[in-house]
Homo-oligomer: A and B are copies of this chain.
Amino acid sequence: MIEEPQVETHGVSDVDAACAAAHGAFDAYRATEAEARASFLEAIGEEIVALGDALIETACRESGLPRGRIEGERGRTVGQLGLFAGVLRRGGWMGLRIDSAMPDRAPLPRPDLRLRAVPLGPVAVFGASNFPLAFSTAGGDTASALAAGCPVVVRQHPAHPETGAMVASAIRAAAERCDMPAGVFGELSGPGNALGAALVADPRIAAVGFTGSRAGGLALTKIAQERDVPIPVYAEMSSINPVILCPEALRARGAALGTAFVGSLTMGAGQFCTNPGLVVAIEGEGLDAFVDAAGAALAQAAAQPMLTPGIHAAYEAGVAALDGHAQVDLVARGQVGEGVAQNQAAFFRTDAQAFLADAALGHEVFGAASLLVVCRDEAELVAVLAAAEGQLTATLQMDAGDTALAARLVPLLELKAGRILANGWPTGVEVAHAMVHGGPFPATSDGRTTSVGSLAIDRFLRPVSYQNLSPELLPAVLRDGGQNGAPVLIDGVQH
């Protein structure tokens, strides 16, 4: 028999207790061995799987996302926890460094210096509506913060409260099974912005992970900056993920690109941070074929339910603004849906001069809407890319004959995006070591970081140097020979 998920509703007055519990757990939790935390992360994954079909059904019902997608997302969530377990066991996350003492150096001896990363403190995690599992209660922010040794207080997303409550119960079960300190995980549920604002303002919170809207991310960042002790906010916010159609690729396979583009655009009702909201091409052979094929595919695209009525309303407003723009032409709309909050896909077209003249054309419309910007030449293409804001991704659709052009563009794209991809679509974000799901503002609030992949753990760590400490006082991993296989930089050389 499946228990009904219990969703408590919290108010601002509950923030104090949640933060006190996280703070109270911090010393014991950061003192746990990396292996113990690795087992804890794996246990969370096991407990999530043990929730069985009830979790899948609940997440589908609350998000409107199809079963296959949610099942895949559960696999991704469990895999992500496992990735960080592996990171903990390999030890590179500690950033170990040892500089040997030189007692005879003149004029002054060099001290013994040893360095490792330590966790920042309790982390506030804001679940995202569009990934009710992989970017929510036990998503990448939670996994990386727990891996780092930081207790987590999740502000559950109001769009999927039951899913959140079920996953929270799995985390608590894992914490109990692994003898983790009480308070290592807490949650706050309920509507409105005041709860999250109070959480970020609490002096015991040391960092914030957020995936959501630009307005939401900026509001939390402001609160964090205005505290007596400011804290870092890692907000993944806004990206339109330019796709560049290079001339040879367009000539060779314009129609196929159009069809494939619509597949990426409409996946999950376009509700991905990496949704291709901007297509940039130079006028030429194959462009008409691309537009025709994309328009035809889009016209057939079935309506899909959006995550919340609010997201749907914002989407409709964004599409209406494009539709009413004097320099923007509608290429095609998707199918009209039945029922509430149905996403009707949309594809528009403009030219480079119009795009350059109106910054609003470069703003995200969250959902399956995209804008083709047609350029007269490479100079206009470069100008459009240079004018675009910071992005999570930039994609080159290219053939061998486009290599010279692409090579000229890559240095520009490096300044604009966290990930550059060729001949794929941006909507798949691999959970891996070499992934960057981040990028210059406003893609994120801190372009030096990623929220997906193993590098995400760095967000919740800071380095501490130990000078002339006796072995008894040093962390075990910094004692001579205590690295246990973890990478260590000794006198500047990586071992």
Contact = CB atoms under 8 A, between A and B. Distances in A.
Given A90-B492, A411-B31, A433-B492, A420 B472 contact: no
A111 B86 CA distance: 20
B229 A430 contact: no
Interface stretch (A178-186, A265-273, A440-448): A440-448
A103 interface: no
Interface string A275-315: 00000000000000000000000000000000000000000
Interface stretch (A38-46, A47-55, A371-379, A458-466): A458-466
B230 A465 contact: no
Contacts of A435: 99, 113, 115, 465
A447 B464 CA distance: 10
Interface stretch (A131-139, A193-201, A329-337, A402-410): A402-410
Interface string A462-476: 111111111011000
Interface in A401-442: 403, 406-407, 410-411, 414-415, 417-424, 428, 430, 432-436, 438, 440-442
Interface string A331-364: 0000000000000000000000000000000000
Contact of A434 (B98, B417, B442): B98
A446 B461 CA distance: 12
B418 A87 contact: no
A72 to B, nearest CB: 8
Contacts of A86: 492
A463 B434 CA distance: 9
A106 to B, nearest CB: 12
B422 A448 contact: no
Contacts of A30: 411
12 contacts: A30-B411, A90-B494, A113-B434, A115-B435, A118-B415, A403-B473, A407-B472, A420-B467, A421-B469, A422-B469, A434-B465, A436-B463
Given A421-B468, A450-B463, 19 more contacts: A92-B494, A99-B430, A110-B430, A113-B435, A115-B436, A403-B473, A407-B473, A418-B462, A418-B465, A419-B464, A420-B466, A421-B469, A422-B467, A423-B468, A433-B491, A436-B463, A436-B465, A440-B462, A450-B465
List of 4 A-B pairs having minimum Cβ-Cβ separation, nearest first: A421-B467, A113-B434, A436-B465, A97-B434
